[in-house]
Amino acid sequence: MSITVTKDVFQLAEVFTISRGSRTEAQVLTVRVERDGVTGQGECVPYARYDETLDSVIAEILSLPSEITRTALQGALPAGAARNAVDCALWDWEAKKAGVRVWDILGLPAPKPEITAYTLSLAEPDAMEASARKHSHRPLLKIKLGTPDDMPRLEAVRRGAPNTPIIIDANEGWTAEVYSDLAPHLVRLGVKLVEQPLPAGADDMLAEIDRPLPVCADEACHDRASLPSLKGKYDVINIKLDKTGGLTEALALKDAGLAQGYGVMVGCMVGSSLAMAPATILAQGVAFTDLDGPLLLAEDRDEPLIFDEAGVHAPKPELWG
């Protein structure tokens, strides 16, 4: 089997800002595995927050033996972007080789459309209000926050989208004091969920302060090994393929999280339809789906995912799986 990696850049439709910084493009890695005349592909988004760069992830991928199997891969690389792209490419190869879909291999029904959040980037209140008004027709908005001065932003978004369900992502940007002050207002404004209000590794206060609405672990939850440290602090886990290291571990984490009483959110980095495609299987029946990466792009893959009023649809086989 041959494994190749290419760097691909997708321009964003507009600047995307979170509490850690801004970007104007999505830099991704595309992995292709080829054997017996069949090619499978997968995509990952190396993430600096997890000490990943394009070059470091490429090096991890190219360190793999050419005969690597999906089972062996789980122990060959740690959870992260490199393993994700290879794992998803191997799933794609296996399905194409067998002439079936990935969900057939898994013994699952074909994925149905899932309503996905649409993310509004962090900005000044007036800009966020305008953005919320522009996108108020969407069934779920996700708002990027994470500064000490977020109350005006919250009020502005609610003015712009008075009836739209909202979830909040603080990207580790709040302190326990800031979150405690904001929490009653989040409830008052009808917020359904707050993601990672405190930094991962400095979030013990979540077990001691009131949690009047569900709190979701994002940066604090990577794979099944993360679950013991979340007990008593979080109500929901955000599963992203680039954190779990692929669909294989993501499915196992979903099962384990549900068994331990956690709600499940399926999220994404900012990538193309190829990165989201495997997650449409994972997202079936979860509490929240956030697979809007392609909606934030000015350009996408050939045969992109379909997004409509029913939600995000399963990929065509030409794209993945």
Active site (catalytic) residues: 144, 240
CB of 217 within 8 A of CB of 201?
Answer: no
Q: Which residues pair with 19 in a beta bridge?
A: none
Rounded Cα distance, 176 and 204, in Å = 9
On whether 169 is known to bind a ligand per the annotation, the reply is yes
CB of 128 within 8 A of CB of 157?
Answer: yes
Look up tokens 């939850």; give the residue. 221
CB of 139 within 8 A of CB of 113?
Answer: no
Rounded Cα distance, 19 and 17, in Å = 7
Alpha helix positions (H), the chain: 54-62, 70-76, 81-98, 102-106, 125-134, 151-160, 176-188, 227-230, 241-244, 247-259, 273-276, 279-282
Look up tokens 């207002």; give the residue. 185
On whether 195 is known to bind a ligand per the annotation, the reply is yes
Backbone angles phi, psi at 229, to 5 degrees: -80, -10
CB of 51 within 8 A of CB of 282?
Answer: no
- Report DSSP letters for 83-146, one per residue: HHHHHHHHHHHHHHHHTS-HHHHHT-PPPPPB---EEEPP--HHHHHHHHHHTTTSS-EEEE--
What are the CA-CA distances from residue 147 to residues 21, 56, 168, 207, 307 (Å)? Answer: 12, 30, 12, 22, 31
On whether 318 is known to bind a ligand per the annotation, the reply is no
Q: Which residues pair with 191 in a beta bridge?
A: 166
Binding-site residue set: 169, 195, 218
Residue ranges of the binding site for Mg(2+)? 169, 195, 218
